[in-house]
Amino acid sequence: VIFLVLLQNTTSRLPVMSGKRAHTSSTDGEQQQPAQVSAAGSGASRRPGWDLKGKVSDMENKVQNYQGKIKSANQENEYLKDSITKAQKHKTQLAIQTSALGRCQDHLKESQELAGNLEETVAHQREELHLGEMERRKLHNAIQELKGNIRVFCRVRPLLTGNQSDVLHIQLPAHDNKALTLAKMEESHTGRTADTQKSYNFSFDRVFGPRAVQREVFEEISLLVQSALDGYNVCCFAYGQTGSGKTFTMEGSDLEELWGVIPRAVQQIFKSAKALRAQGWQYTFTASFVEIYNETLRDLLYTGKPNKRPEHEIRKISSNEITVTNLTYQKVNNEDEVHNLIMLANQNRSTARTGMNDHSSRSHSVFQLDIEGQNSDRDTKCKSTLCLVDLAGSERVQKSQSQGDRFKEMTAINSSLTNLGIVIAALANKDSFVPYRNSKLTYLLQNCLGGNSKTLMFVNISPEEESFSESLNSLRFASKVNDCVIGTASANRK
Ligand SMILES: Nc1ncnc2c1ncn2[C@@H]1O[C@H](COP(=O)(O)OP(=O)(O)OP(=O)(O)O)[C@@H](O)[C@H]1O
Ligand SMILES: [Mg+2]
């Protein structure tokens, strides 16, 4: 019994140890053998053989210790498993991305090959387009030459008042848009025979009746306007007595459907130039507008002080280039800029009242658009002038009852128009000398009339019966021009 009590006392005093050396002292001061317990259990072997409880406790400690270790090992395992799962996921994602990248690289390679092929095709097609464009120019010119480098269109103005069917002296065959007949009843002088009808037949490249609208008229000219962009000098002028519709044909009025040749030509030029840009053509345009009044040149684009107007001279600067000194040569980039210049010119234009037409213009007005084209891809250049002329009235002096200044005007007009006829006749005869210098008009227009040019003349006719003899005169003049064979034009290409 004493032994058991002792054992109980001893064990109850022993601290729970885990791998540490502990010192215990007995209550009675007696120094006891230290109980050594280690986590590895080495202490267990040092316990006295009878200390079964201590051993059990040591074992329990060990078990607890191992359980702790197992727990943290398990936690570590869980963490590692989790990391492995995540790494595997990453691996899968990387594999997907790698294969996508591979596909992208394949695509890129294919696209690069395709781009290379397309570049070749584009270069090839550009070449073909250029050859096609050159071919078009050649064919277009061939057609224009077949039609004749000088062409005459006749336009009959509608009656401004009254019934169109009353116009009996001008006959336009329904099936032939190239013919026109002027007919007049001639009274029998003796009174014994019936009145006879005298007919004058004319034939032109085209005859437009009173119902022809501006668009229809321009359609015929638009091919010539195209030629100007291709490097040919083109001139279009309107001839006819006062009030016959020259200004209406050349300028028309503000409403777009009533636009005349000048605004329509300008519109076409800028539109075509824009389309040709895709083929490497860059154009620059320079406009000028000059009036020839009493054989004196006036700048219609002049904006300075009226009393400071400079004088002008026509100068020939090369075999096919004419320039006017002190004239405004205005660079233009679009249609609107040209329209503004035309408005300025109209304000500047000298108009005077005559017995025949309130808004009669007593001067020739010459609108010029210098066109310079450059195709830098091909090292090709072309240069030409589009020249649109509204001539002064061609009526004879006595009819307009002109006096004083009006008479002087009429004489100057008639002399320059007569000279125009002489120049055309000389060209028709292939004369070695053509008297261009005899009037300012022909000197200024010489490139447009001869050699390297395509010329179109409108002969405008008034439908009133009292204009019969003026109409006959105009038609005769125009016929002379129509017979004029101009040397084959060649494009100013470098
Ligand atoms: N085809 C047409 N259709 C309708 N009106 C026209 C036509 N042609 C001319 N006119 C009108 O006839 C009138 C005279 O025409 P315009 O001023 O063009 O004559 P012009 O030949 O220029 O005369 P001038 O030599 O005196 O300058 C104008 O009022 C014009 O609007
Ligand atoms: Mg006019």
471 CA to middle of ligand 1, Å? 15
Answer yes or no: is 125 within a domain.
Answer: no
Answer yes or no: is 339 within a domain.
Answer: yes
Confidence bin at 277 (pLDDT 50/70/90): confident
246 lines ligand 1 (CB under 6 A): yes
What pLDDT, on the 0 to 100 scale, is given for residue 127? 81
Answer yes or no: is 346 within a domain.
Answer: yes
Same domain? For 208 and 60 the reply is: no
pLDDT digits (tens, 9 = 90+) for 338-377: 999 988 988 887 544 444 444 446 789 999 999 999 987 7
314: left (phi over 0), alpha (psi -120 to 50) or beta: beta
Shortest-distance ligand to the CA of residue 159: 1
Domain count, the chain: 2
Give the domain-ending residue among 66, 98, 118. 66
Q: Is 437 helix (H, G, I), strand (E, B) or coil?
A: helix
Q: Taking a C-beta distance cutoff of 8 angstroms, is the pair 448, 235 a contact? A: yes
Task: Answer yes or no: is 196 a known binding residue.
Answer: no
- Burial pattern 94-113, b for ≥16 Cβ within 10 A else e, equals eeeeeeeeeeeeeeeeeeee
373 CA to middle of ligand 1, Å? 35
Nearest to 283 by CA among 329, 244, 230: 230
Quick one: which H or E segment has residue 221? Answer: helix 214-229
Same domain? For 22 and 171 the reply is: no
What pLDDT, on the 0 to 100 scale, is given for residue 359? 41
Shortest-distance ligand to the CA of residue 358: 1
320 lines ligand 1 (CB under 6 A): no
Identity of the amino acid at 257: E
Confidence bin at 261 (pLDDT 50/70/90): very high
Identity of the amino acid at 77: N
Answer yes or no: is 382 within a domain.
Answer: yes
pLDDT of 235 above 80: yes
205 CA to middle of ligand 2, Å? 23
Answer yes or no: is 97 within a domain.
Answer: no
Cα distance between residue 201 and residue 158, in whole Å: 20
Shortest-distance ligand to the CA of residue 355: 1
332 CA to middle of ligand 1, Å? 28
Mean per-residue pLDDT, 410-427? 80
400 lines ligand 1 (CB under 6 A): no
Same domain? For 159 and 58 the reply is: no
476 CA to middle of ligand 1, Å? 21
Q: Taking a C-beta distance cutoff of 8 angstroms, is the pair 182, 168 a contact? A: no
Shortest-distance ligand to the CA of residue 417: 1
Answer yes or no: is 144 within a domain.
Answer: no
| Both tokens assigned to 456 | 């179109």
Task: Answer yes or no: is 240 a known binding residue.
Answer: yes
pLDDT of 137 above 80: no
For the CA of 357, the closest atom of ligand 1 is 26
Q: Is 453 helix (H, G, I), strand (E, B) or coil?
A: strand
| Both tokens assigned to 327 | 């004239």
Cα distance between residue 235 and residue 454, in whole Å: 6
User: Which residues lie near ion ligand 2 (Cβ < 5 Å)?
Assistant: 246-247, 361
356 CA to middle of ligand 2, Å? 12
Same domain? For 45 and 154 the reply is: no
What pLDDT, on the 0 to 100 scale, is given for residue 164? 73
Shortest-distance ligand to the CA of residue 255: 1
Answer yes or no: is 135 within a domain.
Answer: no
pLDDT digits (tens, 9 = 90+) for 14-47: 444 444 444 444 444 444 444 444 444 444 567 8
pLDDT digits (tens, 9 = 90+) for 143-199: 666 666 678 899 999 998 877 777 788 999 988 999 999 998 776 666 666 667 789
Q: Is 330 helix (H, G, I), strand (E, B) or coil?
A: strand
Give the domain-ending residue among 66, 93, 115. 66
252 CA to middle of ligand 1, Å? 8
Burial-class residue 232 by CB neighbours within 10 Å (0-12, 13-18, 19+): buried
Q: Which of 156, 215, 248, 358 to mutate to test the pocket of ligand 1 (most atoms within 8 A of CB)?
A: 248
Mean per-residue pLDDT, 471-484? 84
Cα distance between residue 56 and residue 66, in whole Å: 15
pLDDT digits (tens, 9 = 90+) for 39-98: 444 445 678 888 899 999 999 999 999 999 999 999 999 999 999 999 999 999 999 999
209 lines ligand 1 (CB under 6 A): no
What pLDDT, on the 0 to 100 scale, is given for residue 17? 43
268 lines ligand 1 (CB under 6 A): no
pLDDT digits (tens, 9 = 90+) for 307-327: 888 999 999 988 778 899 999
Cα 303-412-362 angle, rounded to 5 deg: 50
Same domain? For 383 and 243 the reply is: yes
Cα distance between residue 240 and residue 477, in whole Å: 10
463 lines ligand 1 (CB under 6 A): no
359 lines ligand 1 (CB under 6 A): yes
What is the residue range of 226's domain?
149-482
Query: Mean pLDDT, the chain, as a whole number?
Result: 82
Q: Taking a C-beta distance cutoff of 8 angstroms, is the pair 27, 71 a contact? A: no
For the CA of 251, the closest atom of ligand 1 is 18
Task: Answer yes or no: is 148 a known binding residue.
Answer: no
Answer yes or no: is 129 within a domain.
Answer: no
254 CA to middle of ligand 1, Å? 14
Task: Answer yes or no: is 29 a known binding residue.
Answer: no
Same domain? For 61 and 154 the reply is: no
What pLDDT, on the 0 to 100 scale, is given for residue 98? 95
For the CA of 354, the closest atom of ligand 1 is 26
159 CA to middle of ligand 1, Å? 10
Same domain? For 223 and 371 the reply is: yes
Cα distance between residue 217 and residue 237, in whole Å: 13
362 lines ligand 1 (CB under 6 A): no
What pLDDT, on the 0 to 100 scale, is given for residue 21? 42
Question: Which residue's CA is the closest to the ligand 1 atom numbered 12?
Answer: 245
pLDDT digits (tens, 9 = 90+) for 443-464: 998 877 776 678 888 999 999 9
> In sequence order, what are the beta bridge partners of 199?
183
Burial-class residue 116 by CB neighbours within 10 Å (0-12, 13-18, 19+): exposed
pLDDT of 430 above 80: no
Give the domain-ending residue among 41, 66, 91. 66
